[in-house]
Amino acid sequence: MSIYRLENTKLTSINEISISLERDIQKITEDNLETLFGLKLIKSEFQLHNLRIDSLAFDEENPSFVIIEYKKGTNYSVIDQGFSYLSLMLNNKADFILEYNDRVSKPIKREDVDWSQSKVVFVSPSFGTYQLNAINFRNLPFELWEVKKYEKDMYSYTEIRASEQSEDIENIIKDPNIEKVTKEVKVYTVDGHFPEKRELARELFDVLRERVIGLNDSMQEVPTKYYIAYKVPYNGKLQNILEVVPLASGLKLYFDISKSDLTDPEKIVKDCEKVGHWATGDSVLNITNTQELDYAMYLIKQVYDKFIKEKN
């Protein structure tokens, strides 16, 4: 990918600069975990039972631990290392809880953590073919992020997504650690939110999804256990704009601003600030047909504009 700066109507290339040390990647990432991944740093260089985790982080929205590893070069196995770290976590939950409680003022208990949403994030300037092919399995709780450094202190972080996911990892590699981890840790996907007999919901979602992602090149789609979230960078963190919950007869849309802050001439948005729900939004709308999509986007655009305008 080439990056340019516009100067007096002319494009000037911004050159990539080599990142010399893994520690350099770790420092810039840990200092910006909320902006990049929406995570809280718990401990840098967390060591347990002869294994060292580069960064131990916590996802407060989906209460779960995230292990981050920084790499230079391609002579390591994503599969072996990823499952070793997750196995370490699942076999030593109390140690992870203790570390969290030592670092954060509000303590948590083991049952407060959703261990099924645990994952490992690998961050590197580049990944080899073997590593890229390794993430083509289904149910693999790993993410690969490529980091690049450029002149003028510019950085880019790009998630490397699987080209295809044709087979479950546990069907290919018979290993007790892998079997134990995959029984407890689940990978939540968009497709997993649409079981059979939800054709209408999927049809609505596919159109809505394209339009929401089109609002901003930085829009992130994050499937979780209970909903599909859409996030944009805002004020030094990832801000939820919208959460989508598929229903048998349509979609439930949660907006991350109060009902009173929305212009809703049809008066069909409901207040859910004081009502228990899994999503993070404070107001909600149900849609059941394609004719309602334009109005839904009218509301979503208001939420998006609120955060983008405040940022600017």
181 closest CA partner among 121, 119, 108: 119
Q: pLDDT grade, residue 116 (50/70/90)?
A: very high
| Residue environment code for 170-207, b if the CB has 16+ CB neighbours within 10 A, otherwise e | beeeeeebbebbbeebbbbebeebbeeebebbbebbee
- Please tell me the least confidently modeled range out of 9-18, 153-162, 171-180: 171-180
Tokens 């631990």 — which residue? Answer: 65
pLDDT at residue number 136: 81
* Mean pLDDT (whole number) for 287-300: 96
Tokens 């600017």 — which residue? Answer: 312
Q: Count Cα atoms within 13 angstroms, Cβ side, for 105.
A: 0
**Long-range CB contacts (within 8 A, 24+) of 76-81:** 76/131, 77/130, 77/131, 77/134, 78/122, 78/131, 78/134, 78/135, 78/142, 78/144, 79/134, 79/169, 79/173, 81/120
CATH no. for 3-184 = 3.40.1350.10
Q: pLDDT exceeding 70 applies to what percent of the chain?
A: 96
pLDDT at residue number 254: 97
Strands 64-70 and 119-124, bridge-based pairing = parallel
Which residue has better confidence, 296 or 23? 296
Q: Under a CB-based contact definition with an 8 Å cutoff, are residues 119 and 66 in contact?
A: yes
pLDDT at residue number 135: 78
Does residue 311 have a pLDDT over 60?
Answer: no
Convert the pLDDT of each residue in 48-101 to its tens digit.
998 899 999 999 999 999 999 998 877 778 888 999 999 999 999 999 999 999
Domain with CATH 3.90.1150 in the chain: 191-311
Does residue 117 have a pLDDT over 80?
Answer: yes
- What is the rounded CA–CA span in Å between residue 311 and residue 304? 11
Domain with CATH 3.40.1350.10 in the chain: 3-184
Does residue 312 have a pLDDT over 60?
Answer: no
Convert the pLDDT of each residue in 216-271 to its tens digit.
988 999 999 999 999 998 888 889 999 999 999 899 999 999 999 999 999 999 99
pTM comes to 0.87
CATH topology classification for 191-311: Aspartate Aminotransferase, domain 1 (3.90.1150)
Q: Count Cα atoms within 13 angstroms, Cβ side, for 217.
A: 1
Mean residue pLDDT across the chain: 90
pLDDT at residue number 274: 84
pLDDT at residue number 22: 86
If you average pLDDT over each of 3-12, 103-112, 169-178, which comes out highest? 103-112
pLDDT at residue number 130: 83
